[in-house]
């Protein structure tokens, strides 16, 4: 059985039907990539998967259970990194981490030495105010916050958008380690380097999901998305 199973999920915003019939799955330790044109509903799908919004219909099965009935499963299984960083910007990096670690079984002190925050390089600027960080530093912090409870699934919405190459590489390296330790990643992206991480890829188009064969290159991906 797959760790994540999504069946016939649909979502409307008013009359606009963003998702019509979305079904896919993700296994433990793999990275699933979702591609599609801007506005095709990728972010909406990830919000549904993370429990931020509710689908109009369809079902989710996480680790054999229905999170829509027992919604604590979302918090236990899912770490979510949205496009915009969910950070308290006037506080320090440390304060933000404290909030996400406050009811975690993990020790922030230890993690700043050899956990996700350390691997993402956050320890070096832990005392800085968030609104004084660069975009890349904020994104690293968002990922570290999402991983505070060490969830087995990490959902990321365009993690590399507007980041420099070094930052993208660091995040990519961390995701590889995360998957090696058994973590599952679901991400949306337009970046070829990030999509290289994916073991399977889906195209979201006209509100439905289509599994892509293999690993399309940049040109091929473009023609698939544009429907050429």
Partner 1 sequence: MKKYFCLLKLQIKNAFLTLPKIFAGTLIFSVVLCAVALGAQAADKSSGAPKMQVAVVLPDDKYQNMRDEDKYVRNAFEYLGQIDSVKNVCEFVFEADEVKALEDLKNEIYTAVVVIPERFISSIMNGENIPARVIFKESGVNVTSSVFQEMLRAGASDLSTAQAGIYAVDDVVRALINQNGALEKSNAHMNSMYMSFCLDRNIYFENISAQDRGQPTALQFYTAAGFVAVMLLTTLVCASLLAPDEQALADAFWRRGISGGLSQCMKILGVTLVFYSVYAVMFVLASLSVMRFPEAADIVSAADGFRTADLSKAAASFKNIGIGLVALFVLLLAVISMAGMAYRLLGGFSMVSGVLFLFFISVVMMFASGLFIPSEMLPPAVVKIAAFLPTTWFFRLCAQILTGTVQAACVLANAAYAVFFMAVSSVVSRALHYRNGGGHSTYAKSNGVMSIDE
Closest approach of partner 1 to the CB of residue 160, in Å:
17
- Please give the residues from 47 up to 76 whose contact with partner 1 meets the rule CB under 8 A: 47, 50-54, 68-72, 74-75
Closest approach of partner 1 to the CB of residue 126, in Å:
15
Element (H, E) at 100: helix 93-101
Nearer to partner 1, 26 or 78 (CB): 78
Question: Judged by CB under 8 A, which stretch of 24-32, 46-54, 194-202, 219-227 contacts partner 1?
Answer: 46-54
CA distances from 154 to 38, 45, 82, 122, 188 (A): 22, 14, 11, 18, 12
| 8 Å CB contact between 118 and 112 | yes
| Contact between 80 and partner 1 per CB under 8 A | yes
Question: Judged by CB under 8 A, which stretch of 89-97, 160-168, 173-181, 195-203 contacts partner 1?
Answer: 89-97
CA distances from 106 to 111, 179, 195 (A): 8, 19, 30
| 8 Å CB contact between 201 and 212 | yes
Question: Judged by CB under 8 A, which stretch of 22-30, 31-39, 77-85, 112-120 contacts partner 1?
Answer: 77-85
The phi and psi torsions of 150 (rounded to 5 degrees) equal 50, 60
Using CB under 8 A, which of 3, 4, 11, 185 touches partner 1? 11
Binding-site size, partner 1 (CB under 8 A): 31
Using CB under 8 A, which of 82, 136, 159, 216 touches partner 1? 82
Edge-to-edge strand ranges of the sheet holding 184-188: 57-62, 4-13, 16-26, 208-212, 200-205, 31-35, 184-188, 153-157, 78-81
In angstroms, the CA 67 to CA 69 distance is: 5
Other residues' Cβ atoms within 10 Å of the Cβ of residue 140: 27
| Contact between 103 and partner 1 per CB under 8 A | yes
| Contact between 174 and partner 1 per CB under 8 A | no
| Contact between 83 and partner 1 per CB under 8 A | yes
| Contact between 91 and partner 1 per CB under 8 A | yes
| Contact between 16 and partner 1 per CB under 8 A | no
Q: Which residues bind partner 1 (CB under 8 A)?
A: 11, 13, 44, 47, 50-54, 68-72, 74-75, 80, 82-88, 90-91, 95, 98-99, 102-103
């Amino acid at each position: 059985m797959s760790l994540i199973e999504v069946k016939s999920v649909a979502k409307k915003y008013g009359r606009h039907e963003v998702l019509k019939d979305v079904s896919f799955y993700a296994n433990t330790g793999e990275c699933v990539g979702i591609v599609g044109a801007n506005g095709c509903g990728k972010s909406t799908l990830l919000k549904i998967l993370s429990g931020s919004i509710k689908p109009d219909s369809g079902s989710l099965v996480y680790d054999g259970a229905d999170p829509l009935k027992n919604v604590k499963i979302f918090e236990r299984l899912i770490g979510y990194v949205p496009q915009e960083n969910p950070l308290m910007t006037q506080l320090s990096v440390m304060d933000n981490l404290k909030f996400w670690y406050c009811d975690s079984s993990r020790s922030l002190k230890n993690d700043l030495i050899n956990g996700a925050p350390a691997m993402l390089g956050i320890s070096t600027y832990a005392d800085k105010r968030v609104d004084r960080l660069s975009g890349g530093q904020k994104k690293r912090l968002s990922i570290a916050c999402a991983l505070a409870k060490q969830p087995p699934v990490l959902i990321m919405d365009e993690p590399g958008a507007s980041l420099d190459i070094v930052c993208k590489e660091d995040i990519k390296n961390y995701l590889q380690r995360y998957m090696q330790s058994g973590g599952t990643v679901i991400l949306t992206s337009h970046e070829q380097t990030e999509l290289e991480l994916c073991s399977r890829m889906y195209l979201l188009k006209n509100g439905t999901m289509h599994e892509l064969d293999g690993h399309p290159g940049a040109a091929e991906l473009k023609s698939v998305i544009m429907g050429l």
